[in-house]
Amino acid sequence: MEVRRKYAISIAGIALICLIAVLVISARVRASTPLSAGGRVVPRAAVALVRRGTIANTLSIAGEFLPFQEVELHAKVAGYIKKINVDIGDRVHQGEVLAVLEVPELAAQVRGADAGVRHSQDEIVRAQNEVARAEADHEALHAAAIRLKQASQARPGLVAAQELDDALAKDRAAEAQVEAAKSALSAARQQLEVAKATHLQVSAMSDYSRIVAPFDGVVTWRFADTGALVQAGTSTNSAQPVVKIAEVDVLRLRIPVPESLAASVHDGQPAEISVQATGEHFTGKVSRLTGALDPSTRTEQVEIDVPNQKLHLAPGMFADVGLQVERHDSALLVPVQAVNRVGDQTSALVVGSDHRVQVRPIRTGLEDPNSIEVVSGLKEGDQVIVANLGSYQNGQTVDPRVSVFSSEAANGGAH
């Protein structure tokens, strides 16, 4: 009996201790939980303040780096590669000779054109001499005719009429010879112009035997070697080029913008660029856009010029581009968790100064991963519930506890 009595006393003691602990915990909970005027428990509500800030609609899309300029250089005339001075990867400068062609028949044409110019020059000299001789003969015959005419007029019958007529006829014939010599001189000069034009044409064709770089760049491919026969680039569509060069000091980052956002893109628009291959991240601006949609993809091609003086970027690389297609400054912002959408209705739960919940319809604008722009329905400083929206009713009393925007927390903001 004594053992049973001690056991019962132990159980009663343990029960008493547990009861005291429960009473203490309940007292602490009641002390930390707000009560309404009627003694009911008031639930807590995490809220955020409506604030003003900047929000942008960003288009994230992949783009490809392309050379700023790229061209395959063909020979203008057919011939053999006499010398080729570059190989793939070589840096070249504008005007630098990349290859020289050997065209024997073209060299003969140049010599013939030179001879034609010299012959025309000699013909001009000969024609000038003919003009001088004809003018001298005309002066002599003209003077003789004038003297006979004056003598005949001074002493009629002294000079036979036949002799005077012959002198006047020779004078007119000599004058005609002068005009003919001058015409021959003019023709010789015109022939010289023709010879010079022929010489210029042949010389220009001869210059095409030297293939030069049209701009500063890099040789990206070489198609021919020394001794190879290359056809003129204009003779057939299948003519093989000699080299290909690309300008890579500046690259074009080309991105396809969807039809729905094409109207929002314009020159100078900022863009965030991330290159996965190199791990780089930098900013750029829209340099140009086509202004028309590609019918096959329904996209507009937009280009961003990216400096590449160190050649750390290569054509063909891909980059992720974040393009701000729309931006609103000083907009009213709420966290995305504060917006409740049911069908076509959009609302937010606002906690007033009396701690009561009010369901307020709102109209929204731009969105980003953390925030939503409120166009109407809220004002700056309003408290909106940001968690468990389905747990609160219109008119319900709550205990608001201010939280922060995700973006503010990331920037070190706290309330």
Q: Which of 206, 230, 263 is the last residue of a domain?
A: 206
Decide if 415 contacts 48 (C-beta within 8 A). Answer: no
Residue 413 lies in a domain: no
Tokens of 372: 């939503």
DSSP string, 117-151: HHHHHHHHHHHHHHHHHHHHHHHHHHHHHHHHHHH
CA distances from 245 to 166, 210, 257, 306, 310 (A): 79, 16, 29, 19, 17
Confidence of residue 375 (pLDDT cuts 50, 70, 90): very high
pLDDT score for 245: 96
Task: Please tell me the distance from the alpha carbon of residue 76 to that of residue 210, in angstroms, as a whole number.
Answer: 9
Decide if 351 contacts 43 (C-beta within 8 A). Answer: no
Residue 390 lies in a domain: no
Residue 132 sits in the same domain as residue 174: yes
Q: Which of 186, 206, 226 is the last residue of a domain?
A: 206
Residue 277 lies in a domain: no
Decide if 247 contacts 292 (C-beta within 8 A). Answer: no
Confidence of residue 207 (pLDDT cuts 50, 70, 90): confident
Task: Convert the pLDDT of each residue in 18-34 to its tens digit.
Answer: 555 544 444 444 434 45
Look up the domain containing 87 and give its range: 75-103+209-241
Residue 131 has a CB neighbour count (10 Å cut-off) of 20
pTM assigned to the model: 0.59
Q: Is the pLDDT of residue 345 over 80?
A: yes
Residue 216 sits in the same domain as residue 95: yes
Task: Convert the pLDDT of each residue in 354-374 to its tens digit.
Answer: 999 999 999 998 888 889 999
Residue 235 lies in a domain: yes
Residue 387 lies in a domain: no
3-state helix vs strand vs coil in the chain, percent to 5 = 35, 35, 30
| Burial label, 94 (beta-carbon count in 10 A; 0-12, 13-18, 19+) | exposed
Residue 3 lies in a domain: no
Total tally of structural domains belonging to the chain: 2
Residue 228 sits in the same domain as residue 144: no
Decide if 232 contacts 101 (C-beta within 8 A). Answer: no
Residue 94 sits in the same domain as residue 213: yes
Average pLDDT in the chain = 83
Q: Which of 241, 262, 292 is the last residue of a domain?
A: 241
The two beta strands, 299-307 and 243-258, are: antiparallel
pLDDT score for 16: 56
